[in-house]
Amino acid sequence: MDDYLSGVMSVGGQKYALPLTEIDSIESSYQIKVIDDSPFLEVDDKGVAVYDLDENHNVLEDKRRLCVVIGDIALMADEFESRQLDKRHLRAVPTLVDTGVVAQLYFSTLDNEFIQILRMSSLPSYLAGEQRPYTTDS
Amino acid sequence: MKDVQDKSVSAWLLRINGHAVCVGASELSMLLEAPKTERVLAAPAHCREVMLLEANLYPVVDMSSLLKREPVDSNAIALIIYKEENETQASYGALRFDSIPERIMVTDDMQIDMDAIDSQLRKFVRAAFKYEDQSVGVLDLSEIFSLNNF
């Protein structure tokens, strides 16, 4: 029970993990539509707002990215993989654990890898407040 | 003279956003030049990074945000040991600073009024002293790394 299955997204050089069971589908950014500068995907006949966790990436021109659909939101990702994360390698930073959207900070001592584990309950409010859907250049 | 020497304590004099500050010699565990750090999503402005060191993660505090100043272009980070009130175990955190610290000796007769310290910095300082015409604040590390600032 030291492992659990996660989806690991690479976004702008950072890695974010979330339980694989939370992920509804993976879509292509080719499918993104824009209304009033707000990008969205049509998934199962409903509109899903698209967000980007990379603060430096605010254009819609890159069509080579993925959209990880989680309920009513989709997160842009450069890469995605499912992975067994080893809980024995979880490292918490006490002062940061309870602050933002990040529930735990994962650091693998095996390969010097840093992964932030998203706290799913905080994600929608974070995206609605701090992080807006990215805008188009036009 | 002997009496003064007995009461002196060893400290590290640092600069943070141009301010002269100090920590006790035993509170500074390690000085690092450009250690590996990572950005943390949704973390507070003054602590947006963690430092990876020897299989551990440490929050990195950049006081420029707490002091409402522009960040200083420096890769120097100090690994700090501090103790929170009512805690028996020491905690660790990392602090960005401007330049190479200086080891100094501090004595009681160097103490000055806290009014000599910059008003923004004063909240994060627990005492002040004069050293070579500089007003130096003794950093309140438990306050700096406190959850109250997050």
Judged by CB atoms closer than 8 Å, whether chains meet at A107 and B52 is answered as yes
Instruction: Tell me the chain B residues in contact with residue A114 when contact means C-beta distances shorter than 8 Å.
Output: 38, 50, 52, 57
Measure in Å the smallest separation between the Cα of B145 and chain A Cα atoms: 7
Judged by CB atoms closer than 8 Å, whether chains meet at A95 and B93 is answered as yes
Answer yes or no: are the C-beta atoms of B80 and B141 closer than 8 Å.
Answer: yes
Is the pLDDT reported for residue A108 higher than 80?
Answer: no
- What is the rounded distance in angstroms from the CA atom of residue A76 to the CA atom of residue A9? 9
pLDDT tens, A20-75?
999 999 999 888 898 888 889 999 888 999 988 887 665 466 667 899 999 989 99
User: What domains can you pick out in chain B, each with its CATH number?
Assistant: 8-141 (2.40.50.180)
Cβ contacts of B16 within 8 Å, gap of 6 or more:
B63, B64, B67, B72, B95, B96, B97, B98
Of B28 and A133, which is predicted with more confidence?
B28
pLDDT band at residue B104 under the 50/70/90 scheme:
very high
- What is the rounded distance in angstroms from the CA atom of residue B102 to the CA atom of residue B123? 23
Residue of A nearest to B59 (CA): A93
pLDDT band at residue A93 under the 50/70/90 scheme:
low
User: What domains can you pick out in chain A, each with its CATH number?
Assistant: 3-129 (2.40.50.180)
The pLDDT, as a whole number, for residue A103 is: 58
Tell me if chain A has a CB within 8 Å of the CB of B105: no
The pLDDT, as a whole number, for residue A138 is: 32
Residue of A nearest to B39 (CA): A14
pLDDT tens, B34-66?
998 988 887 888 888 889 888 788 889 999 988
Average pLDDT, chain B: 89
Is the pLDDT reported for residue B90 higher than 80?
Answer: yes
Tell me if chain B has a CB within 8 Å of the CB of A53: yes
The pLDDT, as a whole number, for residue A59 is: 46
Tell me if chain A has a CB within 8 Å of the CB of B83: no
Contact map slice: B 114-143 vs A, CB within 8 A:
none
Q: Fill in the DSSP letter of residue B54.
A: T
- What is the rounded distance in angstroms from the CA atom of residue B28 to the CA atom of residue B35? 16
Instruction: Tell me the chain B residues in contact with residue A93 when contact means C-beta distances shorter than 8 Å.
Output: 40, 50, 57-59
